[in-house]
Chain A
Amino acid sequence: MNYQKIMMSVLILFTVTNCSETNGIFGKTGSGSDPFANISQTSLEYFSNEIGDTVLFKVNQSVIEPDYRETLNSQAEWIKENSITSVTIEGHADEQGTREYNLALGARRATAVRNYLVSKGVSESNLSVVTYGKERPLRICSEESCWSKNRRAITIIDVSSS
């Protein structure tokens, strides 16, 4: 556990340092072609596009997959560094479920993200969760390629709160 924590901290440190030196993961491609080169690291675009505001889930699951830990670690750091005090986490489901169950499932997903961020030091009182169930799909085809993008939790920053 301690080892994991230390590793995670090192990872965060590395990520943050890396970002500040190269303007993000696309930095190595050169600033001329970097779409984020002119985006301030404190901007919402940076949060949404560079860090990533979305976590995806498996069918009927609300477990944070290992692939998304880094995203959430960065989210937590960004929220803390920018002194954001109001964050809403939306939980969503794909259309392959009943309305009520999907509302409950979306709440589970949003809460999983909230709990992760809290575990990384974000104040719980700054985070609120809302479920949309299957009411607000991002993609509208009725295939797994869309459903996989709809089973999501999105971290939304209230800019007025920083």
Chain B
Amino acid sequence: MYINYKKKYNRRYSTTLNLYSLVVLFLVFFQCSLVFSQENVPELDIDVTEGVVEPIPIAFPNFITTDFSSSIIANEISKVVKNDLLKTALFRIVPQGSYISDVTSIDSPVRFADWRAINSDLLVVGDVSVVNETITIKFRLWDVVGQNEIFKGVQFKGPSNSIRRIAHKVSDLIYSGVTGEGKYFDTRIAFISERGPKNNRTKRLAIMDQDGANLTFLTDSESIVLAPRFSPDSRNILYTSYETGKPRVYLMNLINGNLRSFPELPGMTFAPRFSPDGMKIILSITENGNTDIYTLNLENNLKKRLTKNVAIDTAPSYSPDGKFIVFESDRGGNQQIYVMPSEGGKAKRISFGKGRYGTPVWSPRGDMIAFTKMYKGNFHIGVMRKDGSQERLLTKAFIDEGPTWAPNGRILMFFRETSGVNGAPSLHTIEVTGRNLRKIELSSFASDPSWSSLLK
């Protein structure tokens, strides 16, 4: 699908981008096998949907290893896992100094009383070995209170450069096994890395792990770039660049670095997203000062205009079933959120609170829409049901903007920009419950996050 584009639009992109694309190969082959059956129903159940959550104490003894190099890797894995779990605010690690039992084999019977005595509710035991550059981790998660196994003996294998991905997969199983929610740790974030003074920012397209590790730049700082958006399979990103002097949408293949521009689209183009099947893109096109919403079929290049009026129609986002599009428009006088059928047609306004609403994005679960709200000089990240009911504001700041959903639909990432002459953006996460606001620590400013799907 991409081979021809490069030949067709092989301008100066190919030389600069291939440099970056080489380091983007994040597809690491994994084997996941169940050592035993997986049929236990957890007795211990954390409800992350409401109420105040007291972090659940989890005992995390060192993973068992038989040689020094394995023990170093085992330590790195457990460091990443612990960090993932702690950042959910749903877990706390019981300090190792208090452990009564020694764990010498993941198959030996668990002395539940010893772990209860130090007030652990959960116990992770694991075994890490490294043979011929291949890491193998076997681990088990025990419900110490119910005295049963939450899932049985999972094993992951991966190359020695995949320590962090293996760790995130372990975190995902623990989080998902205990909460019943979907996984989200083994994911990546595409975003805009920013540097320099406010009136002369340089912006670079960048990609990193969900926790901020493995940051890679995808463009240089020559042109302004905006708002990357992952494809459903996380192998491509759409973004907007001023490469030609005007804002135009591009599609970058993260596997081979190929870049597709869309010369068939007129005017200025921006605010692109993929359709859930990855076959189409939806975006805004500005012609003669008027901004409307269009789709472009990536296979047959057929363009379709979905809105046609003098208002600004932008920031479109598909529902996960592909049947609807949520977008923002000022057709009613100011910026509000509307829903229309995915082939166009009558749009229904769904935001009715005070203030202006923008950047709507449909949750991967399909039930909610996250948005940016501007009201009385503040910006908020909020969520509402897909019919506009049950609006809840999760944050408040000078500028909080551009939410993106974790693949499990439980956590939102967005950027927060501070005010004033030294004002600058940084990435934050918050649970859809409004709990656990966290800044992602990076060495540069950062904005416009896009959360990938769960990596394969």
Contact = CB atoms under 8 A, between A and B. Distances in A.
Q: Do A and B bind each other?
A: yes
A101 interface: yes
- Which of A95, A115, A138 gathers most chain B CB within 10 Å? A95
Contacts of B398: 142
Nearest to B311: A104
A140 B423 CA distance: 8
A101 B358 contact: yes
A140 B198 contact: yes
A105 B270 CA distance: 13
B268 interface: yes
B59 interface: no
A107 interface: yes
A103 B335 contact: no
Interface stretch (A63-71, A78-86, A129-137): A129-137
Interface string B417-446: 101110100000000000000000000000
Given A107-B291, A131-B247, A137-B198, A95 B417 contact: yes
B197 interface: yes
A55 interface: no
A104 B199 contact: no
Given A60-B334, A135-B201, A100 B286 contact: no
A60 B183 CA distance: 41
B203 to A, nearest CB: 8
Contacts of B358: 97-98, 100-101
B271 interface: yes
B74 interface: no
B315 A98 contact: yes
B64 to A, nearest CB: 50
Nearest to A114: B289
Contact of B271 (A100, A111, A132): A100
Interface residues of B, number: 42
Nearest to B418: A142
Interface string B258-287: 000000000010110000000000001010
Nearest to B373: A98
A142 B335 CA distance: 21
B291 A104 contact: yes
A105 B227 contact: no
A96 interface: yes
Contacts of B284: 100, 103-104
A140 B270 CA distance: 25
A99 B227 contact: yes
A34 B407 CA distance: 64
A139 B199 CA distance: 7
Contacts of A130: 245-247, 268
B81 to A, nearest CB: 35
Nearest to A141: B421
Contacts of B291: 103-104, 107-108
B307 to A, nearest CB: 12
A100 B224 contact: no
Contact of A100 (B199, B245, B315): B315
A137 B314 contact: no
B328 A108 contact: no
A44 interface: no
B199 A101 contact: no
- Which of B201, B312, B398 gathers most chain A CB within 10 Å? B312
A99 B247 contact: no
Nearest to B415: A99
Contacts of B290: 108, 111
B219 interface: no
B265 to A, nearest CB: 15
A108 B372 CA distance: 22
Contacts of A103: 247, 268, 270-271, 284, 286, 291, 314
Interface string B188-227: 0000000001110101000000000000000000001011
A26 to B, nearest CB: 28
A100 to B, nearest CB: 4
6 tightest A-B CB contacts, nearest first: A111-B289, A142-B419, A98-B358, A104-B291, A104-B312, A140-B198
21 contacts: A60-B330, A98-B402, A99-B402, A100-B271, A104-B284, A104-B291, A104-B312, A105-B312, A107-B268, A108-B289, A111-B289, A114-B289, A130-B246, A131-B268, A135-B226, A137-B198, A138-B199, A140-B198, A140-B421, A141-B420, A141-B421
Given A99-B402, A141-B421, 14 more contacts: A98-B374, A100-B271, A100-B314, A103-B271, A103-B314, A107-B286, A107-B291, A108-B289, A108-B291, A137-B199, A139-B199, A140-B423, A142-B421, A142-B423
Interface of B: 197-199, 201, 203, 224, 226-227, 245-247, 268, 270-271, 284, 286, 288-291, 312, 314-315, 328, 330, 334-335, 358-359, 372, 374, 377, 398-399, 401-402, 417, 419-421, 423, 448
